[in-house]
Amino acid sequence: MRSKLVAGNWKMHGGIAQNRVLLDLIVTGTTGLRGADCAVCVPYPYLPQVQSLLQPTHIFWGAQNVSQHEKGAYTGEVSAAMLADFACRYVIVGHSERRALYAEDSHTVALKFRATQTAGLTPILCVGETLEQREAAVTEQVIAEQLDAVIELLGVSALAKSVLAYEPVWAIGTGKTATPQQAQDVHAFIRNRIAAHDIKVATELQVLYGGSVKANNAAELFAMPDIDGGLIGGASLVADEFITICRAAQS
């Protein structure tokens, strides 16, 4: 049985004072959760704060991006080893906002995936189609290309120490959630594609759904057989919402 994971993606939100309040509430509200892990992926400058507040708790933390390079003259970039210094467990790679706004292609994302694992951290690899692509009925091709870039570079076994997140771009921050069946269909496609290489890896891999997951729709999404939790944007900034979503992931 796969356990579930609910990971918050704070994006470019937060502040020292408000983080403290939010994290205190989340820690208290998710104490005693069964069969589900919780994590928050925060902006880089808050990693020391999050580390010190969450170290003694059951909540994991991570970053939202990483350089594909190990070190060197890359002004403004942050390496995976630096994230390891702050005991990050997760790094989101290939979020659609990175792909669209910062021109990250699937090969670059695969390099970031590799850099993350090399530092001993777990990548959360995001894949997903735009509305245009869904309407043109190329969803599966798009996701296959995003997934295959990692498999080609690193082999399918690399996926064993990772988490996937299916995030339809048209559902991110729009309030438009994929229906549980729409999400399940793509999750099953992802799992089958990986199973064609390695059944064990496919069976054990956590595949999260992301895109306007809220307190009022999380349970029906998480009830689908191939959905193993969520990657949560907007609702991860509201303590009650996030806590309810984490509770919906309990076994």
Q: Does 168 bind ligand PGA (CB under 6 A)?
A: no
Q: Does 211 bind ligand PGA (CB under 6 A)?
A: yes
In the complex, the smallest distance separating the C-beta of residue 235 from ligand PGA, rounded to whole angstroms, is: 6
Catalytic residue among 95, 104, 129, 187: 95
Residues in the chain: 251
Note if 69 is an active site residue. no
Q: Does 131 bind ligand PGA (CB under 6 A)?
A: no
In the complex, the smallest distance separating the C-beta of residue 17 from ligand PGA, rounded to whole angstroms, is: 22
Can you list the alpha helix ranges (DSSP code H) found in the chain?
16-29, 47-54, 80-85, 96-101, 106-118, 131-135, 139-154, 180-195, 199-204, 218-222, 239-248
Q: What is the DSSP string of 62-128?
A: EES---SSSSSS-TT---HHHHHHTT--EEEES-HHHHHHS---HHHHHHHHHHHHHTT-EEEEEE-
Q: Which stretch binds ligand PGA (CB under 6 A): 101-109, 153-161, 188-196, 227-235?
A: 227-235
Note if 13 is an active site residue. no
Q: Does 150 bind ligand PGA (CB under 6 A)?
A: no
Catalytic residue among 104, 129, 167, 241: 167
Closest chain position to ligand PGA (CB): 233
Q: List the one residue from 184, 234, 239, 241 that touches ligand PGA (CB under 6 A).
A: 234
Q: Which stretch binds ligand PGA (CB under 6 A): 22-30, 72-80, 116-124, 206-214?
A: 206-214
Which class for 175: exposed (0-12), middle (13-18), buried (19 or more C-beta within 10 A)? exposed
- Nearer to ligand PGA by C-beta: 201 or 242? 242
Q: How far apart are CA 43 and CA 38, in angstroms?
A: 17
Tokens of 52: 């010190």
In the complex, the smallest distance separating the C-beta of residue 109 from ligand PGA, rounded to whole angstroms, is: 15
22-33 as b/e: b if 16+ CB within 10 A: bbeebbebbeeb
Q: How many CB atoms lie within 10 A of CB 192?
A: 11
Q: Which stretch binds ligand PGA (CB under 6 A): 26-34, 82-90, 219-227, 229-237?
A: 229-237
Residue numbers at the binding site for ligand PGA (CB under 6 A): 9, 167, 172-173, 210-213, 231-235
List the catalytic residues: 95, 167
